[in-house]
Chains A and B, each alone.
Chain A
Amino acid sequence: MRRVLGRLARNRGALAALAVLALVALACLAGPPLTGHDPGRIYPDLVRTPPSLQAHPRPEAIAPAVERLAFRMRVTAEDIRVEDGILHVTLSAPGPINERVLSYLPRSDLFGPATILTRAEDGRRLRVAAPVRRLVFPLGTDVLGRDLLSRSLVAGRVSLLIGLVATGVALLIGVTYGAVAGYAGGRVDAVMMRLVDVLYALPFVFFVIMLLVFFRAGLGLILIAIGAVEWLDMARITRAQTLSLRHRDFVRAAEALGLSAAAILRRHIVPNTLGPVTVAATLLVPRVILLESFLSFLGLGVQEPSTSWGALIAEGSRAIESAPWMLAAPAGFLVATLVALNLLGDGLAEALDPRLSGDR
């Protein structure tokens, strides 16, 4: 085991992949509160904002925004100035201004609560100050005006969770099934593996889609459906390993000591199959994430208000002309994660079996 880890540590690609994965996972878990935006918060005035590190509203956008607001407040805005992030504006109207209309300013996403500096002409002229908000959207906003960074991060939680749990489900079913089949041998083995062969020929993605269409997609159902589909490879790998272990001396010894079959499987067989199974599991996680994002793309996966990378990508590809960054943000996260997981899986496989490595 230590030799394997040592070989893995010398594989620069796998190490980089591990770093990327740790970074993505950390960002998704701890990141959302740090972005400054609630992922569900809608900024109606900042719809389809392109990605940028500059704060919104832009200086040149302030005057038109104030004029639009003044129109809705039924007043005229004059002398619009911004000093030290504070908006100064003079509002005037033919009659006295109802001061409650000032609540339009903080409601607009762009400004904070307004304070009246001076009143003139019997309240027909107000000098008003309001702080200008500084909203940063590093990855832009979507068609509803939601921050894409926050949304991509919370979506990542769902995608990663599905990847890990569904792989876990597949692992549990596959390893148990394969180990039992391989250890039992003979006719039991033949029947069990024949069943796997039949299942391989079934168009399984179709059954997953059917399940999700008919029984209303929920996170739990997605997990079980994907896990139940992907255990076949795991069963085959475990069975092959078990077959090679079954007649080894330490298993014979355990049998001679009178251990039950279940105990032998648990204590001696399964732990020894873990190497190849780990590799298969590492490579299964990206497949599961991809499958989930495919289902979400079809609208069958994760449902609003929760979201996943696949669901975000689906939204993005519908807005591709007006807001291409909506596709770029979640796709970037997804692709980085998948490439890293694949690299890590390959690295693990090479570390376990150095013959596979490219340079010898």
Chain B
Amino acid sequence: MIGFVLRRLLQAIPTLFAVVTVSFFLIRLAPGGPFDLERPLPPAAMANLARVYGLDQPLVVQYGRYLGALLTGDFGPSFSFRDLSVGDLFARGLPVSMTLGALALALALVVGIGLGALAAFRRGSAVDRLVGLGAGLTLAVPTFVVAPLLQIVFGLSLRWLPVGSWENGAPANLVLPVITLALPQIGALARLTRAALAEVLAAQPVRTQRAMGLPPLRIARHALRGALLPVVAILGPTAASLLTGSVVVETIFGLPGIGRYFVDGALNRDYTLVMGTVVLVALFVILLNLVADLLSGLLDPRLRAAR
């Protein structure tokens, strides 16, 4: 088990290295720089700025320095948010994004798996068709349509909930963003659970259990355990994308998370902020995939033996 975790973490190193390298050189190849303004600065000032931020060094040297700093956990200073380091920005924004993401993930898991299971147990019924239709719809309606719709209905018309802003995470401010984030995941999870559970329910062991007269609830518990494997398999990427924030949701609801940093950083040529965001997301993906793999080992002993 520990060996497996260590091996996976070792395997992650080349991936992370590739991520850092590709994004570092891609962003440096791009035209424009972080200190380009409408009215250009005097050349002497530009040279000073470049020296302070180490931009006057050859690219390879800068790359080496960045890698070295990254190994000590230092993401470097931000170019567009003066006086703040990328680490500071993450320390402020990450709790916001992770709070929203964790709540959305929890909501999606409960509702998505619940509805999917319901549909699978009542296969071919009206409930089943309704769940299928709803899931298809949530997958097809983009978040940037859902979010304004929710704002209109619950914010502007009914006046039940605030339209936006964070206000230190007041629960009322969380409701609409969390629902927006969770909806597409609910659809995906419901479809996946239904398909997997339907297959398990039709398989030999369940038929045997039925024939033996086991109570339906116990059969359901056994079946669900097997059916959750594909769900757990997509849990890694899903959780990673939810926890690292969403540009769309954070922009529309005016939330100070880290989702907006990437696009803003790229537009401002904020090299370190863009790099930091990419590395952070890659880390989340890798770690959460590992967690998902460990979970599926918990669900299915055969996977454990295969390691």
A residues whose Cβ falls under 8 Å from a Cβ of B: 198, 201-203, 206-207, 209-211, 213-215, 286, 290, 293-294, 297-298, 300, 310, 313-314, 316-317, 320-321, 324, 327, 331, 334-335, 338-339, 342-343, 356, 358-359
Contact = CB atoms under 8 A, between A and B. Distances in A.
B262 A202 contact: no
B282 A202 contact: yes
Contacts of A201: 12, 15, 19, 282, 285-286, 289
Contacts of A286: 140
A98 B19 CA distance: 72
B258 interface: no
Contacts of B95: none
9 contacts: A201-B19, A207-B26, A210-B26, A214-B266, A324-B152, A334-B142, A339-B137, A358-B124, A359-B123
Contacts of A298: 247-248, 263
A203 B282 contact: yes
Contacts of A356: 195
Contacts of A300: 263
Contact of B147 (A209, A317, A334): A317
A343 B129 CA distance: 13
Contacts of A324: 152
Given A198-B15, A203-B281, A214 B136 contact: no
Contacts of A215: 30-31
A318 to B, nearest CB: 9
A171 to B, nearest CB: 21
Contacts of A293: 142, 144
Nearest to B282: A203
B136 A206 contact: no
Given A320-B152, A321-B156, A359-B124, A206 B281 contact: yes
Residue among A211, A314, A316, A331 having the largest count of chain B Cβ atoms under 10 Å: A331
Contacts of B30: 210, 213-215
Contacts, number: 110
Contact of A342 (B31, B136, B156): B136
Nearest to A291: B142
A29 B306 CA distance: 54
A358 B267 CA distance: 48
Contacts of A342: 136, 139-140
Interface string B270-307: 00001001100110011001000000000000000000
A298 to B, nearest CB: 6
A190 B125 CA distance: 45
Nearest to B156: A321
Given A297-B248, A317-B147, A335-B145, A206 B286 contact: no
Given A203-B278, A206-B278, A338-B141, 16 more contacts: A207-B22, A210-B27, A210-B30, A215-B30, A294-B248, A298-B247, A310-B142, A327-B145, A327-B148, A334-B142, A338-B139, A339-B137, A342-B139, A358-B128, A358-B198, A359-B124
Contact of B145 (A211, A313, A339): A313
B32 interface: yes
Interface of B: 12, 14-15, 18-19, 22-23, 26-27, 29-32, 123-124, 128, 136-137, 139-142, 144-145, 147-149, 151-152, 156, 195, 198, 247-248, 252, 262-263, 266-267, 274, 277-278, 281-282, 285-286, 289
A226 to B, nearest CB: 15
A228 to B, nearest CB: 13
Contacts of A317: 144-145, 147-148, 252
Contacts of B267: 213
Contacts of B247: 298
A343 B141 CA distance: 14
Nearest to B260: A298
Nearest to A320: B148
B286 to A, nearest CB: 6
B144 A313 contact: yes
Given A213-B267, A294-B248, A202 B22 contact: yes
Nearest to B277: A206
A63 B190 CA distance: 57
Contacts of B142: 290, 293-294, 297, 310, 313, 334
A327 B32 CA distance: 34
A359 B122 CA distance: 11
Nearest to A297: B144
A320 to B, nearest CB: 5
Contact of B31 (A209, A211, A214): A214
B148 A338 contact: no
A209 B26 CA distance: 12
A313 B198 CA distance: 37
Contacts of B151: 320
A214 B128 contact: no
A206 B15 contact: no
Contact of A207 (B14, B23, B149): B23
